[in-house]
Amino acid sequence: MEKTKLAIIEDDRYLRQQLSMYLTKEYDIVEAGDRVEGEQLILREKPQVALIDLNLPPSGKCQEGISLVEKTKAELPDTVLIVMSGNTDMKETLRAIEAGAQDYFRKPFDLAELSLVIRRSLEMQGMRRDNKRLQGELQSKYSFANIIGQSPVMIKVFESIRRVADTTATVIIRGESGTGKELIAKAIHYNSKRSEKPFVSVNCAALPETLVETELFGHERGAFTGAVASHTGRFELAHEGTLFLDEVGSISPMVQAKLLRVLQEKTFERVGGTKKVSTDVRVITATNENLEEKVARNEFREDLYYRINVFPVRVPPLRERKEDIPLLLYHFLRAFCGENGIPIKKFHPAALEALMNYSWKGNVRELENLVQTLVLMSDEDLIGLQNLPSHVRGYDSTSLSLLGRIPEEGVSLDEAVEQFEREVLRTALDKVGGIKSKAADLLRIDKNRIKYLCRKYKF
């Protein structure tokens, strides 16, 4: 395994040799004895770590080391910089920290302790690098450009995200269940000035009414039976970031009043507390309900409605953007095949046509779940009509045609008849609760034949 490269910039030759001998087992060591030589060495070798004496030639003053720290930080921002000094004046060391050094040592020092500090600094730098990478991945993943769709209605959604993302406006995302409202909320957050701060999501409908308030605002110890410790709420967790309240229409009138106050005053109290907590949070809400009707029935506060309904974004159901279905199908197909180490499958034109004609009441979430099932359950590389669930294929027990459609490449009559026979049998059994004798009567066949068909189709 390749060693981490470590530069030692120290004018004391004996100390430099001592450091090099001690650290050479763990690191690939390069050395220099003054600021000019050190600068050339660092820019040429690009070490992961640099130990820099502050009082370097040519002047021997601390500014030499600080200048080298500043230069290295500007050219190689990922290099871990640790300064060394025999001077007892902490002002010089603090100046070096401000210039970009991660840590410091005062001479004389313990070599074992120095080794530990180097490892700790590398670990911290690795964590920062990983966080930066993950942040970049999140921003890329939730870029509106990566939300699948090219239909006119989705282009309008992209334009809405682009317009509102970098503003302070309160956004409400409206759409049916499964349309991807949280994905839109994340796209707004990760394209805003708050992108490096937390994105905190709360499904208000999934929480019992008694827990919504404490989940949002937190509680103090002893606020109620079982509150053995204080609890930080989502508003505090999302400080300087974005709080996404999904299914906001389900919250109780009491919580509505408290939410309105937070939006107006930017302060709240924890449950059982009296101290005001300030919060800087952008609130994005979402709902699949008709809030206007709830306002008319006095089930949702009118003043809160106007407060959250500043910038509405409507996410269209899948049936209104059918031209996006092939894009979504192949996006999820590639994703799930990749996750499971399976060669990329394809859809037969007849299967793709059936998927295009399906109503998708569960929207994108239903489509995603179906593709995952098809990837795992289909042995063939080509996903055909026979692999689709009956409700997606569109067969029913009153039609003897292949849905009035025969693809240009033709169809196997025997396979089509078997598919229809299987679905008629499944429908009959479902209707009579799985009782074969009753299904036989319903289909006007004898008991021996229905036993044969059940064995044939493994019902």
Report how far residue 349's alpha carbon sits from residue 356's, in angstroms, rounded to the nearest whole number.
Answer: 10
| Confidence label for 400 from pLDDT (cuts 50, 70 and 90) | very low
CB 181 within 8 A of CB 173: yes
**pLDDT at residue 388 greater than cutoff 70:** yes
Report how far residue 142's alpha carbon sits from residue 190's, in angstroms, rounded to the nearest whole number.
Answer: 6
Per-residue pLDDT tens digits for 184-205: 999 999 889 998 899 999 998 8
**pLDDT at residue 395 greater than cutoff 60:** no
- Cα-flanking dihedrals φ and ψ of residue 290, to 5°? -90, 95
Summarize the confidence of residues 49-74 as an average pLDDT.
92
Summarize the confidence of residues 355-384 as an average pLDDT.
90
Other C-beta atoms closer than 10 Å to the C-beta of 423 total: 19
Architecture of the CATH domain 343-456: Orthogonal Bundle (1.10)
| Confidence label for 136 from pLDDT (cuts 50, 70 and 90) | low
Tokens (6 digits) for 182: 């949280």
Q: What is the pLDDT of residue 412?
A: 75
The 3-state secondary structure of the chain reads: CCCEEEEEECCCHHHHHHHHHHHCCCEEEEEECCHHHHHHHHHHHCCCEEEEECCCCCCCCHHHHHHHHHHHHHHCCCCEEEEEECCCCHHHHHHHHHHCCCEEEECCCCHHHHHHHHHHHHHHHHHHHHHHHHHHHHHHHCCHHHCCCCCHHHHHHHHHHHHHCCCCCCEEEECCCCCCHHHHHHHHHHCCCCCCCCEEEEEHHHCCHHHHHHHHHCECCCCCCCCCCCECCHHHHCCCCEEEEECHHHCCHHHHHHHHHHHHHCEEECECCCCEEECCCEEEEEECCCHHHHHHCCCCCHHHHHHHCCEEEECCCHHHCHHHHHHHHHHHHHHHHHHCCCCCCEECHHHHHHHHHCCCCCHHHHHHHHHHHHHHHCCCCEECHHHCCHHHHCCCCCCCCCCCCCCCCCCCHHHHHHHHHHHHHHHHHHHCCCCHHHHHHHHCCCHHHHHHHHHHCCC
Do 4-136 and 343-456 agree at the fold level? no
**pLDDT at residue 282 greater than cutoff 50:** yes
**pLDDT at residue 88 greater than cutoff 70:** no
Q: What is the pLDDT of residue 61?
A: 87
Q: What is the pLDDT of residue 227?
A: 64
Least confident piece of the model among 91-95, 159-163, 275-279 = 91-95
Exposed, middle or buried, 14 (CB in 10 Å: 0-12/13-18/19+)?
Answer: exposed
Return the percentage of the chain with pLDDT > 90, whole number. Answer: 43
| Confidence label for 318 from pLDDT (cuts 50, 70 and 90) | very high
Per the model's pLDDT, the better-predicted residue between 429 and 402 turns out to be 429
Per the model's pLDDT, the better-predicted residue between 414 and 260 turns out to be 260
Q: Confirm or reject CATH 3.40.50.300 for domain 149-316, answering yes or no.
A: yes
| Confidence label for 76 from pLDDT (cuts 50, 70 and 90) | very high
**pLDDT at residue 85 greater than cutoff 90:** no
CA 448 to chain centre: 55
Per the model's pLDDT, the better-predicted residue between 173 and 442 turns out to be 173
Average pLDDT, the chain: 86
Residues sharing a CB contact under 8 Å with residue 373, sequence separation 6 or more, in sequence order: none
Summarize the confidence of residues 136-154 as an average pLDDT.
66
Q: What fold is seen in the domain 4-136?
A: Rossmann fold (3.40.50)
Summarize the confidence of residues 210-220 as an average pLDDT.
83
**pLDDT at residue 63 greater than cutoff 60:** yes
| Confidence label for 407 from pLDDT (cuts 50, 70 and 90) | low
83-87, 303-307, 381-385, 435-439, range with greatest mean pLDDT: 303-307
* All structural domains of the chain with their residue ranges: 4-136, 149-316, 343-456
Summarize the confidence of residues 332-337 as an average pLDDT.
90
**pLDDT at residue 28 greater than cutoff 90:** yes
**pLDDT at residue 415 greater than cutoff 50:** yes
Summarize the confidence of residues 9-34 as an average pLDDT.
93
